[in-house]
Amino acid sequence: MTTPIFPLHRRAVLAGLGAVSLAAASGCAPAAVQMPAPKSRQFPKDFIWGAASAAYQIEGALDADGRGESVWDVFAHIDGKIVDHSLPAIACDSYRRYAEDAALLSGASLKNYRFSIAWPRVQPTGAGAANEKGLDYYSRLADALLAQGVTPWATLFHWDLPQALQANGGWGNRDIAERFADYAGVIAAKLGDRVKNFIVLNEAAVHAVLGHVTGEHAPGLKDAGLLGRVIHHENLAQGRAIQALRAARNDLRIGTTLALMPARAEGGVAAFANRPAAEGFDALWNGAFLDPLLRGAYPEGALATIGAALQADDLAITKQPVDFIGVNYYSPAYIKLDLSSPSRIAAGAPPADTPRDAFGREIDPSGLYEMLERLRTQYENPLVYITENGCSDPFSNGPAVIEDGFRIDYLRKHLEAVRSAMEAGGRIGGYFHWSLIDNWEWALGFTSKFGLVGMNRDTGLRTPKASYAWMKALAESGLLDTAA
């Protein structure tokens, strides 16, 4: 059993916000809301069920068929960055075993699969002509899914930027918006006849902060001064990619996936002083991604960080009509005021009795309810899909926990929150479990396992867990059971 260095990676985010000034924050982070228990445990017939994955975490075959180098290939080779020193050279071997993955989905009656497309397979240097052999993999995957009655949902960017673009400044360089739009157009032209659902970015906030400020993720930069540019260029690139997808075809359903976390002020005697810190965090973590897309503006509290990157008419590009918002939810963020930090914020403590999962994340489904309610009441009730939710086994290099009652319990609680949000009037159309198969968890390597299915790393053999059977029963009946 390895002790991971970064077990609380989402909370560690705060420490790294270093030079970012949040003093002027005046956003309106909502207070924690009371979550009512659901009246009915029956999901509607048209509610969709699925599972999610990301290219770099599952595919392996990093040198196959002309794939270019990504920022994660470079980062994972730096000593000390990956807790177990592993590389995802094979990972789940899904580049070869994708048909098995498709069969596993359909075996659990999960009729929707969220996967990501590796940009360096499609454009090895991030620009120019498409690499047909790399694109063909996603074509085969789409065909295999459709043959199993599984609907493909493709994420265009789940953090594996071509290294050649990074060498040119990566997300810090405004030109990335055009490169990304070009890539999106290539995907639509090749796959759009069969893949109709597109998620443009995955968790842009996580990528901006962990990749560019705290250095825990690729490209491993520790430069708080980059944050505003990276966030804005992500929003700009997203807008340009949506335009490119729509220009290529008029029959696509397009959305994006956000890592939404309610920002909660640490309680106790200093609670009143912690509240502005929580508001400042909220403006950068949630508002700086929701608002430019859905309102064509940045929240007041984010402008000090982002303003310098903003050019005339940019907000007309970031604001695009979307068919849905993808919500990834694991836990809330607790924030406190910290006068010793330039940003004046730091990770706070949750109430003492808050349960935590093996990842160190608070188990708090009310945070999911809170963010869904916020979308309903403050953003005109968009159609929402939960595009990730789940929990890890205890950290270990050993085999997966197959009798994973703890996971079933976690899922049940979060799906109750989804039901409650639907009963409040939220338009929530579906739920994708993270993840289908245990995979390579970024800086935590193989020590963290989120799958409904375990995997033997030597043989690639997949073993469904108890949660797999549980999800199958749920997907078939739509009826959420009560705790045993």
Please tell me which residue in 100, 388, 416, 441 is annotated as part of the active site: 388
Please report how close the Cβ of residue 390 comes to ligand GCO at its closest, in angstroms: 7
Tokens 């909502």 sit at which residue?
30
Token pair for 22: 């949040």
Rg (alpha carbons) of the chain, rounded to whole number: 21
By beta-carbon proximity to ligand GCO, the closer residue of 57 and 214 is 57
Please report how close the Cβ of residue 327 comes to ligand GCO at its closest, in angstroms: 11
Please report how close the Cβ of residue 157 comes to ligand GCO at its closest, in angstroms: 11
By beta-carbon proximity to ligand GCO, the closer residue of 94 and 328 is 328
Spatial contact of 57 and 88, defined as CB atoms under 8 Å apart: yes
Please report how close the Cβ of residue 127 comes to ligand GCO at its closest, in angstroms: 25
Q: Which residue's CB comes closest to ligand GCO? A: 54
361: CB partners within 8 A, 6+ apart: 8, 10, 330, 331, 391
Please report how close the Cβ of residue 54 comes to ligand GCO at its closest, in angstroms: 5
59 is catalytic: no
Spatial contact of 124 and 134, defined as CB atoms under 8 Å apart: yes
By beta-carbon proximity to ligand GCO, the closer residue of 57 and 305 is 57
Please report how close the Cβ of residue 156 comes to ligand GCO at its closest, in angstroms: 14
Token pair for 134: 């790399």
Buried b or exposed e, range 346-355, using 16+ CB within 10 angstroms: bbbebeeeee
Token pair for 58: 């599952």
By beta-carbon proximity to ligand GCO, the closer residue of 330 and 468 is 330
> Which residues form the interface with ligand GCO (CB under 6 A)?
54, 57, 202-203, 206, 259, 328, 388, 434, 441, 450
Distance, first Cα to last Cα, the chain: 30
Closest CA to 449 of 392, 403, 406, 407: 392
In DSSP terms, 333 is beta-bridged to: 263
CA max distance for the chain: 61
By beta-carbon proximity to ligand GCO, the closer residue of 358 and 424 is 358
Please report how close the Cβ of residue 384 comes to ligand GCO at its closest, in angstroms: 16
279 is catalytic: no
Query: What DSSP element (H or E) covers 385?
Result: strand 384-388
By beta-carbon proximity to ligand GCO, the closer residue of 54 and 346 is 54
By beta-carbon proximity to ligand GCO, the closer residue of 27 and 326 is 326
Closest CA to 165 of 125, 123, 134, 209: 125
Give the C-alpha distances (Å, rounded to integers) separating 183 from 43, 170, 276, 385. Answer: 37, 15, 40, 24
By beta-carbon proximity to ligand GCO, the closer residue of 290 and 317 is 290
3-state helix, strand, coil in the chain (%, to 5): 40, 15, 45
H helix count then E strand count, the chain: 17, 13
Please tell me which residue in 203, 234, 373, 441 is annotated as part of the active site: 203
Spatial contact of 259 and 198, defined as CB atoms under 8 Å apart: no
SS3 at position 462: strand
Please report how close the Cβ of residue 97 comes to ligand GCO at its closest, in angstroms: 19
CA–CA gap between residue 385 and residue 382 (Å, rounded): 10
CA–CA gap between residue 77 and residue 151 (Å, rounded): 35
Residues acting as catalytic residues: 203, 388
